[in-house]
C-alpha cells in the first residue's frame, strides 16, 4: 500500500472515530461577524416598517369603524394570511380588516396592515374575487410601495424609516407624524404611482394563481366595479389608473404568464356563507 | 566555454526553465476568502471556493451565494545565477492578468449544489530579450512565448447529514492548453569562424479529462472542523505536437553548416497526475476569529518514456481571518509549494529544476449587506538549483524565483 493510501485511510478512520463522539452543537459557530450586518439591518428595517404601518393604520381607523361581524373578519383574515404565504414576506404578520365605508376601495399599509371597505366587500360574488382584491393589496406591501412613494428620506431630512420610527428625537417624532399623514393622503386621495398599481395587479394575479384561485375572477370584479355609481368610485378613480387600462394590462399579464383558461377555484358557495348584509 | 555557449544557444536552453508549473503541485491559489488565507481552506470551505478545497464544505453554506476572483495581477521573475558564460545572470519575468475563479452555490432540496470554474495552474510568458555584452557574440536574441493553463470547470454536490458531518463530490472537467514558441538567434562577432546560429521550437499540448474530488467535513467538537479531500486528475485524451528547426552558418560552408528541417512529432500518450490528499483543520473560537491549517500530500508519479516522473510532495498552509468590526476583516496566511523534482546532483544530466517555494498572503475585506470585496497580495519566494544546459553534468545554476500577485475578489449572497 502506498504512502498516499496509508495517509488517506488513517485520516478517514480518525475522522469517523471523531464523528461517533456525541457532541451537542447549539450554535452556528461558522457564522462570521459580517453576517450580523445582514440580519441586523433586515430585522431593523422590518421592525420599522411594521411600526410605521401600525401608525398609519391607527390614523386610518381614527374616523372609520370596522365591520362588527367576527365571522367575516375571521374569514377575511384567514384567507388573507393564506394568500400572504405567497408574498415572499415571511418576516411580516399580516392583518386583514373589513372597514365600514361607502367607498369601494381597499388599502395596504406598510408592515402588512390591509383594509377592505364594506362597499367593496358587498360587491364581491365569490372567494376568488376576494382573493384577487386581497392579493393586490398584499403585493403593495410586498413591494413597499408606500414607503417608496413617500420617499421617507426626504420627509425626515435624511432620516431613514428606522430613525423615524425609533422616535429618537422630537424632530423625528414630528417627521413620523408628517409621514403617516402623507401615507393616509396617498391611500385615500393622491394615490400611488400608476406603475405601482399595475405592478400590484400583476403580482396580485400571480399570488392568486399560486394560491389556486381563478385569475379571471379578479378581472370580472374590476369590470363590475367599473359600472358602479361615480359617487362610490370617486376615491378609487382618484387613486388608481382607469379600469380599462388595468384590465388591458391584466389581460397581457394573463397571456404572458400562461394564465388563460386555468379553470381554478372560485368558491362562491363558501363565500356566500360570509356575505355581508 | 564554447561548448557551454553552444548548448546555451540550443533549444535545450529554454525547455528546462521553470514553467507553469509541472514542477510544483501547489500553484494558483483561488477563491475569495481562501486566497487571503493562503489556501488553508479545506476545513472551512463553506462558500463557493470550497468547491476547490473541499466540496463537502459547501453543504455548510447558509445561503445561495457566488464568489469570484475578479482579477489577479500576477508577476513572476526567476533568476539563474551565472547562467550565461558562467558570468552573467539570466533573468526572466512574466506578467499576466488572470480572473482565476468563479463559483456559485445554491440549495437544492436536501443538498447544496454548485458550479465552479477555476484556473488551477497558469503561466504566460511573452518575452523578448537581447544580450549584446557576451564574449565573442555580437548579439544574442531570445524571443519566447509560452502560455500554459489548466482549467477545472464543473459541478459539485454536497449533503449535510447532520450538524457534524457533510460529504461532497466534485467532478470538474480538466482541460489543459499549452503553446510554446521559442526563437533564439546568435550573431557572432566577425573574429569568430561561426556566423549565425538560429533555432526555433514550437510545442503544443492539449489535455482533456476529469478531476473527481471527494470531500468529507466533520465537526468532532464544537468550534472545530476537520476536512479531508482526495482527488486525482484523470486524463482521458491528450495530444502533444512538437517541431524544431535550426540552422548554423560559418565562414567555410555554403548555406547551413548544421541544419534541422522542421518536422512535426506527435504523441497521444497521456500524462499521469498525482493523487492529492488534503487534511485540514479549522478552529472558530468566536465570530471574529478563524484559524485554519491544511496539509497537502501529492503522491509520487512514475516516469514513462514520454513524461518524467514526479516525487511525492508534502505541503502546508496556515490561514487566519480576523474581523475588527462587522464591516472589516483582515486575512493572512502562509504556505509552501515544494518542488516535485529530486534534488539536483553533480553527476546527473538533464535534470529538472528543483526550487522549493514559500509564500505569504495578506488581504483586507470590506463587507456590506450580503456582499464583500477584498484586496490583497501574495508573495512567493523560492530558492533552489537548475541545470539549464542539461547535457553538462556538474554545471548547475543557483535559482531564485519571486512571485507577486495582487488580487481583487468579491462575493455575494442572495
Closest to B89 measured CA to CA, from B359, B388, B403, B341: B388
- Assess contact for B41 and B50: CB atoms under 8 A: yes
Chain A residues touching chain B at CB-CB below 8 Å: 2-4, 7-8, 11-12, 15, 18-19, 21, 23-26, 28-38, 41-42
Nearest residue of chain B to residue A36 (CA atoms): B326
Cβ separation A33–B62 shorter than 8 A: no
- Select the residue of A7, A23, A36 nearest B297 (Cβ to Cβ): A7
Binary contact (A21, B372; C-beta < 8 A): no
Q: Kindly list the strands in the beta sheet with A106-109, ordered across the sheet, starting from the edge strand earlier in the chain.
A: A95-99, A113-117, A106-109
Q: In chain B, which residues touch A (CB < 8 A)? A: 44, 46, 60, 62, 163-165, 216, 218-223, 225-226, 228, 230, 275, 277, 279, 284, 287-288, 290, 297, 299, 312, 321, 323, 325-327, 329, 365, 367-370, 372, 413
Q: Whole-angstrom Cα distance, residue B317 to residue B337?
A: 9
Residues of chain B positioned with their CB less than 8 A from the CB of A11: 228, 277, 279
CB contact under 8 A, A21 and B220: yes
DSSP string, A155-186: HTTS--HHHHHHT-SHHHHHHHHHHHHHHHHI
Residue B414 has pLDDT above 80, yes or no: no
Q: Between chains, do A15 and B163 touch, taking CB under 8 Å as contact?
A: no
The shortest CB-CB distance from B222 to any of A2, A8, A25 is to A25
| Chain A residue with the nearest C-alpha to that of B161 | A19
Kindly tell me if the per-residue pLDDT of B50 is higher than 90.
yes
Name the β-bridge partners of B158: B112, B168
CA distance B222 to B214: 24
Statement: the pTM of the whole predicted model exceeds 0.90: no
* Average pLDDT score over chain B: 89
Smallest Cβ–Cβ distance between B299 and the set A2, A11, A35 belongs to A2
- Chains A, B: CB contacts within 8 A come to 91
**Residues in chain B within 8 Å Cβ distance of A26:** 222
Residue B20 scores a pLDDT above 60: no
Per-residue pLDDT tens digits for A118-171: 999 999 999 999 999 999 999 999 988 887 877 654 444 345 666 666 655 666
Rounded CA-CA distance B121/B340 in Å is 15
What are the chain B neighbours of A44 within 8 Å (beta carbons)? none
Q: Nearest CA of chain B to the CA of A92: how many Å? A: 19
Q: Is B20 in a helix, a strand, or coil?
A: coil
**Bridge partners for B333 per DSSP:** B319, B361
Query: Which of the four pLDDT bands, split at 50, 70 and 90, describes residue B303?
Result: confident
Residue B408 has pLDDT above 60, yes or no: yes
Of all residues in chain B, the one with the smallest CA distance to A17 is B220
**Which domains can be identified in chain B, with CATH numbers?**
2-413 (2.40.160.60)
ipTM of predicted assembly, 2 dp: 0.81
B116 contacts B102 by C-beta, under 8 angstroms: yes
Residue B47 in contact with residue B61, Cβ under 8 Å? yes
pLDDT average, residue stretch B30-50: 95
What is the predicted pLDDT for the residue at B192? 84
Q: How much of chain B exceeds pLDDT 70, in percent?
A: 94
- Cβ burial of B49 (10 Å; 0-12, 13-18, 19+) is buried
| Cα-to-chain-centroid distance, residue B39 | 13
Whole-number pLDDT of residue A164: 63
Specify the higher pLDDT residue, B236 or A49: B236
Q: Which residues does chain B have within 8 Å of residue A10's beta carbon, measured at their own beta carbons?
A: none
Q: Does the structure show a pLDDT above 90 at B224?
A: yes
**Interhelix angle for A243-257 vs A215-226, to 10°?**
170
Chain A residues near residue B290 by CB distance under 8 angstroms = 32
Q: Which of A222-231, B54-63, B271-280 has the highest mean pLDDT?
A: B271-280
Alpha-carbon span B255 to A276, nearest angstrom: 110
pLDDT surpasses 60 at B5: no
| A37 within 8 A of B326, measured Cβ to Cβ | yes
Tell me whether strands A95-99 and A113-117 are parallel, antiparallel or unpaired.
Answer: parallel
Between A89-93, A98-102, B212-216, the lowest mean confidence (pLDDT) is in: A89-93
How confident is the prediction for chain A on average, in pLDDT?
82
CB contacts of A38 in chain B (<8 Å) are 369-370, 413
Pairwise CB contact (< 8 Å): A36 & B223:
no
* Contact criterion met (CB < 8 Å) for A37 and B368: yes
Per-residue pLDDT of A176-193, as tens digits, reads 777 878 888 878 777 878
pLDDT tens digits, B226-263:
999 999 999 999 999 999 999 999 888 888 988 888 88
Amino acid at each position: 500500500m502506498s504512502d498516499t493510501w496509508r495517509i488517506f485511510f488513517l485520516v478517514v478512520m480518525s475522522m469517523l472515530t471523531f464523528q461517533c463522539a456525541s457532541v451537542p452543537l447549539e450554535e452556528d459557530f461558522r457564522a462570521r461577524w459580517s453576517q450580523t450586518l445582514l440580519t441586523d439591518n433586515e430585522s431593523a428595517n422590518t421592525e420599522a416598517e411594521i411600526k410605521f404601518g401600525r401608525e398609519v393604520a391607527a390614523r386610518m381607523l381614527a374616523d372609520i369603524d370596522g365591520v362588527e361581524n367576527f365571522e367575516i373578519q375571521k374569514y377575511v383574515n384567514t384567507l388573507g394570511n393564506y394568500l400572504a404565504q405567497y408574498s415572499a414576506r415571511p418576516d411580516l404578520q399580516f392583518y386583514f380588516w373589513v372597514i365600514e365605508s361607502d367607498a369601494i376601495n381597499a388599502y395596504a399599509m406598510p408592515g402588512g396592515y390591509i383594509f377592505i371597505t364594506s362597499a367593496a366587500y358587498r360587491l364581491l360574488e365569490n372567494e376568488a374575487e376576494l382573493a384577487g382584491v386581497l392579493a393586490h393589496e398584499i403585493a403593495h406591501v410586498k413591494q413597499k410601495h408606500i414607503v417608496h412613494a413617500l420617499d421617507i428620506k426626504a420627509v425626515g431630512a435624511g432620516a431613514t424609516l428606522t430613525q423615524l420610527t425609533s422616535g429618537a428625537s422630537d424632530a423625528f417624532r414630528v417627521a413620523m407624524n408628517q409621514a403617516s399623514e402623507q401615507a393616509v393622503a396617498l391611500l385615500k386621495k393622491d394615490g400611488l404611482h400608476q406603475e405601482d398599481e399595475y405592478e400590484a395587479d400583476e403580482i396580485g394575479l400571480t399570488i392568486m394563481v399560486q394560491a389556486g384561485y381563478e385569475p379571471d375572477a379578479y378581472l370580472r370584479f374590476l369590470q363590475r366595479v367599473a359600472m358602479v355609481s361615480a359617487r362610490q368610485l370617486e376615491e378609487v378613480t382618484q387613486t388608481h389608473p382607469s379600469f380599462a387600462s388595468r384590465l388591458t394590462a391584466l389581460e397581457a399579464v394573463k397571456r404572458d404568464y400562461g394564465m388563460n383558461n386555468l379553470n381554478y377555484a372560485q368558491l362562491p358557495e363558501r363565500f356566500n356563507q360570509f356575505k355581508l348584509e | 566555454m564554447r561548448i557551454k555557449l553552444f548548448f546555451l544557444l540550443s533549444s535545450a536552453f529554454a525547455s528546462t526553465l521553470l514553467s507553469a508549473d509541472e514542477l510544483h503541485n501547489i500553484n494558483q491559489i483561488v477563491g475569495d476568502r481562501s486566497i487571503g488565507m493562503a489556501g488553508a481552506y479545506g476545513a472551512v470551505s463553506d462558500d463557493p471556493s470550497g468547491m476547490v478545497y473541499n466540496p463537502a464544505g459547501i453543504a455548510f453554506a447558509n445561503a445561495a451565494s457566488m464568489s469570484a476572483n475578479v482579477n489577479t495581477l500576477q508577476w513572476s521573475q526567476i533568476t539563474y545565477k551565472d547562467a550565461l558564460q558562467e558570468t552573467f545572470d539570466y533573468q526572466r519575468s512574466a506578467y499576466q492578468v488572470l480572473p482565476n475563479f468563479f463559483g456559485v452555490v445554491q440549495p437544492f432540496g436536501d443538498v447544496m449544489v454548485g458550479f465552479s470554474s477555476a484556473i488551477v495552474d497558469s503561466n504566460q510568458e511573452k518575452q523578448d530579450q537581447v544580450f549584446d555584452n557576451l564574449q565573442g557574440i555580437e548579439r544574442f536574441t531570445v524571443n519566447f512565448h509560452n502560455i500554459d493553463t489548466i482549467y477545472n470547470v464543473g459541478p459539485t454536490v454536497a449533503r449535510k447529514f447532520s450538524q457534524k458531518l457533510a460529504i461532497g463530490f466534485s467532478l470538474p472537467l480538466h482541460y489543459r492548453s499549452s503553446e510554446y514558441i521559442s526563437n533564439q538567434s546568435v550573431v557572432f562577432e566577425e573574429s569568430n569562424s561561426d556566423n549565425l546560429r538560429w533555432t526555433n521550437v514550437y510545442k503544443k499540448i492539449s489535455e482533456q479529462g476529469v478531476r473527481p474530488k471527494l470531500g468529507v467535513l466533520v465537526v468532532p467538537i464544537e468550534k472545530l472542523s476537520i476536512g479531508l479531500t482526495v482527488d486525482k486528475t484523470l486524463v482521458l485524451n491528450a495530444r502533444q505536437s512538437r517541431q524544431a528547426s535550426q540552422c548554423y552558418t560559418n565562414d567555410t560552408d555554403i548555406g547551413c553548416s548544421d541544419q534541422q528541417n522542421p518536422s512535426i512529432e506527435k504523441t497521444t500518450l497521456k500524462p499521469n497526475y498525482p493523487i492529492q490528499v488534503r487534511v485540514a483543520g479549522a478552529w472558530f473560537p468566536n465570530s471574529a476569529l478563524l484559524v485554519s491549517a491544511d496539509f497537502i500530500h501529492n503522491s509520487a508519479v512514475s516516469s514513462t518514456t514520454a513524461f518524467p516522473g514526479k516525487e511525492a510532495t508534502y505541503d502546508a498552509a496556515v490561514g487566519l481571518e480576523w474581523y475588527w468590526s462587522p464591516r472589516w476583516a483582515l486575512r493572512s496566511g502562509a504556505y509552501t509549494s515544494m518542488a516535485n523534482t529530486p534534488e539536483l546532483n553533480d553527476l546527473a544530466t538533464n535534470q529538472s529544476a528543483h526550487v522549493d517555494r514559500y509564500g505569504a498572503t495578506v488581504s483586507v475585506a470590506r463587507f456590506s449587506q450580503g456582499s464583500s470585496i477584498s484586496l490583497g497580495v501574495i508573495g512567493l519566494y523560492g530558492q533552489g538549483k537548475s541545470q539549464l544546459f542539461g547535457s553538462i553534468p556538474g554545471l548547475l545554476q543557483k535559482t531564485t524565483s519571486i512571485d507577486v500577485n495582487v488580487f481583487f475578489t468579491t462575493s455575494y449572497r442572495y
